[in-house]
Amino acid sequence: MQARFRWPHGDIDRAVAAFEAARAEAEQHDGPGERAIALTLLALVTAFTDPLRADDELDLAHQYLAQLDQRATTFYAAVAALLRDAGTDHDLPDRATTLHTQSTAVGLPWLTPLIQTAVAFHHAVRSAHDDLTATINHLREATANGDFAYYVDIATAMGNLPQPAESAIQWLDDAHTVRERWRALVTARQAHLRAAQ
């Protein structure tokens, strides 16, 4: 899916459109598994920008997932819930720790960088700089083999921190644009939470 490549670049609008198209295609072909995956990933990307919509998408995704055996997709839904709640007081770091333990225990350690990125988003929204730095260090450890290393760049951008000196990430767009997109998601969530108070 094209959207899998767009959202790590902070291009959430195009990712949403692509996952919506994937969902529609799955519905046309009556593919319940594909539909559940598309819905879950749609919830994941909308969770960055629209927590209320993400909540609706997650409710629908859980309805489909309840009828299927899609362990990894179920964990993606849990990460989407973390992203939806980023910046709030919903015990997010503890939930992330539990999710990491569970996903690793069932043989899905490749979810660790995504989980840590959700935690980084939470800390960046809360302007919890020490916690964000610690999370970025965890991300560096989790991506030391080079897999998913772009999550470190995303997390530093969220926190408006310097781009990692060791970064060799090649973005579809220029790095400055990508970093601005990720930082803008953080400031938009901060504004959303202030307006909700």
CA atoms within 13 A on the CB side of 166: 7
Residue 4 has a pLDDT of 57
Q: What pTM was computed for the model? A: 0.94
Could you say which DSSP state residue 109 is in?
A: G
Residue 186 has a pLDDT of 98
Low-confidence residues of the chain, pLDDT below 70? Answer: 1-5
Residue 1 has a pLDDT of 46
Residue 13 has a pLDDT of 93
Distance, CA of 8 to CA of 72 (rounded, Å): 18
Inter-residue contact 101 to 79 (CB < 8 Å) = no
Inter-residue contact 117 to 143 (CB < 8 Å) = no
Residue 168 has a pLDDT of 76
Alpha helices in the chain (DSSP H): 3-6, 12-28, 32-49, 51-65, 71-84, 92-105, 112-125, 129-142, 150-158, 175-196
